[in-house]
Structure 1
Amino acid sequence: MKTKRAKRNVILIAAAAAILGPTVPLTATASTPVTPKPLEWAKCEGSGLDPRQECATVHVPMDYSDPGGKKIGIAVSRIPSEKPTVRRGALLLIAGGPGGGSLDEISGKGQKLPQEVRNAYDLIGFDPRGVGRSAPVSCGLDSGDLVRSKYFPWPAPDGSVTESMVTARRVADACERNGGELMRHISSADNARDIDRIRAALGERKLSAWGLSYGSYVGAVYGQLFPHRTDRFVLDSNLDGNGDRVHGQVGRALWAGFEAGVEDVFPEFAKWASAPGEYHLADTAAEVRPLFLRLAARLDREPIPWPGANTAELNGNVLRQAMVDAFYDPEGFPALAQLILAAQKGTVPPAPEPPPEALMQNALAVTHATTCNDSEWPESSAQYQKEVDQSRAKYPLTAGMPRNATACAAWPYPLKQDPVRITDRGPSTILLVQNKRDPAAPLSGARNLRAALGKRAVMVTVDSTGHDAYLGNGNACGDRTVTRYLATGERPARDTYCGGASGRTP
């Protein structure tokens, strides 16, 4: 059954087809050669940056179906190659999110790159459209909707999605009221087109990239839209680029991945938490899971006041969200164990410091716009309730959250185009690096992306836990494999597995 939004799309597409054609114009516009103005590099704003980092602005169409219309500025940064005599080209860092930027990451994460990589490339960062210093947007959300356990769509303790649907409508209304015209034009495909404008402005015939998490998906989309402009592409902590097998929708797949991802990581946490020591939760790993589920259910019934916390109380969903957050990096295990131990006694640890509100407003506006504009979402509360009930039964740790309604259930803007389908058409320039146990980008989703790319890609699976594999929570074998590819172009002949100890431990 088509949603109301889909029915609106039929009318809009029919009206536009006579002038634009159904899908060709956006692709053709993206592929049309652009002669950019030379970039005007200047010292970057901000503190703690590498003194070599410089910044510029690339002007791009706000709406790629109207390339002669209004322009927005995309903030771009650069640290030149440290050995110009061996310089190969430009390496773009594509941040996760949606809602994250890499403008200053070239002075942070970029400086962790091995010397041979920093010699081979100019390091390039950017804030995607709507983010940071690239025409930032905000929905002006109520402070309560900024709480992490609220914008992650956790159902009510009994599994009801009624309040989630109310929140979805409130957030979508705020985005429509306060977000401005750009909110209609923030999507993964638009991000990929902006990247190609950045490539052209840099004067590069081809571009190399390191895309992390959501950035891996943007990198895959770029490789699909502009396959012959890819040099060496590393996609790290990969999302299922064509949507989960239940829905086939990219936006929903981003959330759905938490089901398998959390299940993949929990046994590692349980094993760690059953070892003797300060954070000992149980005598055996098998006891940790029921302990956690019982505690979450108790907190659903009897929340504990939490003075100073933006949640005001420690309830079951706050505990579940703390679990998800801790699983991104094994170094978060102790904080989760501390929270569990305190809650068992009816107490709470010191309240965590929330991120700055302006940063949250910006990041959430871009998150909502990207996931809602990327693909169709159901509008029926009955549909969400059915899927949440099924998810809660199969994946009790995540309690239905990955299948619940977000603002996309009430998103006011019609879908402009179908999601970009990732295929095996194009040159073989991609290396996927993927941790075996990743809470947000599970191995199962990465394997789906790998299968879709066919001979265009090779995947290295790393026997490690956490999100962010290369130079993060991976291991030395995986790091060497990625570094070798970026520095020399040498890539494994076939998919490979990197066993051994994790790169980081609690």
Structure 2
Amino acid sequence: MPRTTRIAALAAAGMLAALALPVAEGATTSTAPSTTADHTARLDRYYSQHPAWHRCDADDPATYQCATITVPLDYAHPSGRTLRLRISRIRTSTPGKRHGVLLSNPGGPGDQGLADPLQLKDALAKTVLQRYDLIGFDPRGLGASSPLHCGLTRNETDSTEPYRPYRATTFAKDTARARDIAAKCTTRNGSRLLPYINTRNTARDMDVIRGILGERKLSYIGWSYGTYLGAVYTQLFPRRSDRMVLDSAVDPNRFGRGTVLAMAAGAEPAFEDWSQLVARRDHTYHLGDTPAKVRAGFWQLVARADRTPLLYEGDDLDHQGRSLNGADIRSWMRWSFAAEPYRAARDIVTLRTSHPTDQSARPDTSPADPANDNAVGLNWAITCADNTASWPRDPARYRRDAHREKAGHPIYGDFAANITPCAFWPRGAEPATRVDNTAAALVIQNQWDPQTPLSSGRAMHRALHGSRLVYIHGGRGHTVYALPGAPACVTRTVDAYLTDGHLPKADLTCNS
């Protein structure tokens, strides 16, 4: 799930350490690297690289440096093919105060992280910057790091909604579309690349970065999907995990289909909360003076748009001039209810007075922009293959599940349960990661997060037994720390943890 509120909004978007064992500590996987001396020696060459740092771009500050390193395509066979990984840094630590490096991942899977140091330099407190050099990277298969491409069309990379609503009349087309996306990605990448694009290998790449930088341990900030990546790192490399901040967390033991179904479950309480907020401001929006009336009015609007799509003529540029049916409105508002509740109310007022339209947008079958093709293909590769067993292979199962989920979670249930390319995706090269360890992480979670709901944040907290949960009562939207408007309580707590390494004595509740 992408971190849609990017940190970019804040800025505008060695030698092998003798202590570094080159195999995952405690890794349990059928393709995990062996621990033989020969195998270790073959991995040593990756950990002992000396990156050639240089200015990333002529338009960037000279302090923002980039380098390219190599990592094994398959860590089980490190003498085989390699991938090129692009990494970046800004040295901000102060001599005498330096603690180490702070690596980050903005989410996705599919969000590039190479520019994170630029954005974090302007977002983090001075006390934190004094402790760390900021490190960014584009994960394998993405951006500047040996990107995969699937040859998708613009319609197949529609970033406004990767999941389709279930309709009996379109299910056959949805199934064919899902099968076609999987076939394109498989044909283009096949056994050459696709099986090795997974979170476990990205976590192993992170440890290579740690070793190359000469660090004994790795500190890390991850948002959204980045929380899962961080949790997998703690599972594979527990003794090398240092200060870990996991903001807006995924349930690490339900990654895959369970992640999407959690979004549907989380949309319902956010809708209830939104209807209460709007009812209290009936004098402004006139959408109903009780929560029940507000909700009834919303469903009447959805039914009307399903009969005849409505032309959106408001000021939201993402939807301006679009013809919206009821499913479009449900998908859009699932996010807005929690992230921008009063903006959602204004947009619904606009839609209620919008003109019906008979516009029917035809699928755009022209080639997708290469960057979009890469991001969407990478997203499916990890979402589908990290936990292959979570995705049924029988299309009929999706039909049944969509009926059930829509009945239980009317806002988004049929989107979450409908068929996706994962039904036809090649099985992953490794089993799903079971996260269950004592990592001393700090988990940050809004009450009304529409993307990674509160239940997911609590599940991450349970999986990391040494963690502390910072719960934002009344918090809305997705992602918190280092963003404008973050509660002072959250900022103070995370800054203190990154600065001195001490977790709060107990779980903490902050007010929004």
- Structure 2 residue 422 is matched with structure 1 residue 422: no
- The Cα shift of 1:438 comes to 0.7
Contact 1:264 1:442 in 2 (8 A): no
Deviations 1:215-239 (A, max 9, x none): 0000000000000001101111011
- 2:175 pairs with 1:165: yes
CA distance in 1, matches of 2:118, 2:237: 28
Aligned to 2:353: 345
Q: Does 1:393 align with 2:410?
A: no
Structure 1 residue 273, shift from structure 2 partner: 3.2
Give, in whole Å, the separation in 2 of the partners of 1:118 and 1:404. 44
Q: Does residue 1:445 correspond to 2:456, yes or no? A: yes
More displaced stretch, 210-219 vs 273-282? 273-282
Letter in 2 for 1:416: A
**Distance change >3 Å, CA 345–CA 327, structure 1 → 2:** closer
Superposition pairs of residues 111-260 of structure 1, within 5 angstroms:
111-148=122-159, 151-156=162-167, 161-179=171-189, 181-243=192-254, 250-260=255-265
- Bigger mean CA deviation after superposition, 102-111 or 85-94: 102-111
1:209-262 Cα offsets, whole Å, 9 max, x none, are 00110000000000000000011011110111001xxxxxx2112211212221
Q: Does 1:52 align with 2:63?
A: yes
> CA 1:327 to 1:306, structure 2 compared with 1: closer, same or farther past 3 Å?
closer
C-alpha distance 380-362 of structure 1, shift in aligned 2 (>3 A)? same
Relative to structure 1, is the Cα distance of residues 70 and 481 closer, same or farther in structure 2, using a 3 angstrom cutoff? same
Instruction: Point out the structure with the larger helix share.
Output: 1
What is the Cα-based RMSD across aligned positions, in Å? 2.8
* Native 8 Å contact 1:279 1:334 kept in 2: no
Question: What is the DSSP-based 3-state SS (H/G/I as helix, E as strand, rest coil) of the residue aligned with 1:59?
Answer: strand
SS state at 1:235 partner: strand
For structure 1, which segment, 468-477 or 78-87, has the greater mean C-alpha deviation from structure 2 after superposition? 468-477
State percent identity of aligned pairs: 35
Distance 1:290 1:45 in 2: 53
- Mark the CA change 1:25 to 1:149 in structure 2 (over 3 Å): closer, same or farther: closer
> Aligned partners of 1:133 and 1:357: how far apart in 2?
15
Shift, 1:478, TM fit:
1.7
Q: Give the SS at the match of 1:37.
A: coil
8 Å CA contact 1:149–1:317 kept in 2: the answer is: no
**Cα pair 1:29 1:67 within 8 Å, conserved:** no
The one-letter amino acid of 2:345's match is A
Question: Which residue number in structure 1 is paired with residue 5 of structure 2?
Answer: none
Structure 2 residue 333 is matched with structure 1 residue 323: yes
Aligned residue for 1:292? 298
1:263 aligns with 2:268: yes
Q: Distance in 2 between matches of 1:302 and 1:111?
A: 47
Q: Distance in 1 between matches of 2:493 and 2:90?
A: 24
Partners of 1:212 and 1:237 within 8 A in 2: yes
Which residue of 50, 54, 58 maps to 1:42? Answer: 54
Instruction: Give how far 1:445 is off.
Output: 1.6
- Distance between the aligned counterparts of 1:162 and 1:149, measured in 2? 22
1:11 maps to what in 2?
Answer: none
Name the amino acid aligned to 2:172: T
Residue 423 (structure 2) aligns with:
409
Partners in 2 of 1:257 and 1:119 — Cα distance?
38
Matched residue SS, 2:101: strand
SS for the counterpart of 1:400 is helix
- Residue type of the alignment partner of 1:341: V
Question: Partner of 1:189: helix, strand, or coil?
Answer: helix
Matching of residue 486 in structure 1 with residue 486 in structure 2:
no
Q: Which residue identity does 2:455 align to in structure 1?
A: S
Q: Identify the residue that residue 84 of structure 2 maps to in structure 1.
A: 73
Deviations 1:344-370 (A, max 9, x none): 123399xxxx9x933322210110000
Cross-structure match for 2:472: 462
Q: Which amino acid aligns with 1:226?
A: F
SS of match in other structure, 2:89 = strand
Distance 1:311 1:342 in 2: 12
- Give the alignment's TM-score, normalised by structure 1: 0.84
The reply to whether residue 64 of structure 1 matches residue 83 of structure 2 is no
Q: Which residue of 1 aligns with 2:386?
A: 374
C-alpha displacement of 1:85: 2.5
Measure, in 2, the Cα distance between the counterparts of 1:496 and 1:159: 48
The unaligned stretches of length 5 or more in structure 1 are 1-20, 244-249
Counterparts of 1:38 and 1:419, CA distance in 2: 33
The answer (yes or no) to whether the contact 1:54–1:78 under 8 Å persists in 2 is yes
CA 1:451 to 1:40, structure 2 compared with 1: closer, same or farther past 3 Å? same
Using the TM superposition, give the Cα deviation of residue 63 of structure 1 relative to its aligned residue in structure 2, in angstroms: 1.8
Amino acid at match of 1:443: L
Q: Tell me the amino acid that sits aligned with residue 68 of structure 1.
A: S
Q: Letter of the aligned partner of 2:382 in structure 1?
A: T
Q: Deviations over 1:393-441 (max 9, x none)?
A: 1111114111222110111x232111110012x4x42111111111111
When normalised by structure 2's length, the TM-score is: 0.83
Is the CA contact 1:468–1:474 (under 8 Å) kept in the aligned structure 2? no
Q: How big is the shift at 1:444?
A: 0.9
User: Is this contact kept in 2: 1:161–1:384, CA < 8 A?
Assistant: no
Give the C-alpha shift of residue 283 in structure 1.
Answer: 2.8
Helix, strand or coil for the counterpart of 2:464?
helix
- In the other structure, the counterpart of 1:336 is 344
Partner of 1:95: 106
Say whether 1:106 aligns with 2:120.
no
C-alpha contact (below 8 Å) 2:222/2:245 kept by paired residues: yes
Q: CA deviation at 1:82?
A: 4.1
Task: Give the number of aligned pairs.
Answer: 461
Contact preservation (8 Å) 1:42, 1:54: yes
The secondary structure found in structure 2 opposite 1:469 is: coil
Cα distance between partner residues in 2 of 1:306 and 1:493: 50
Paired residue secondary structure (2:384): helix
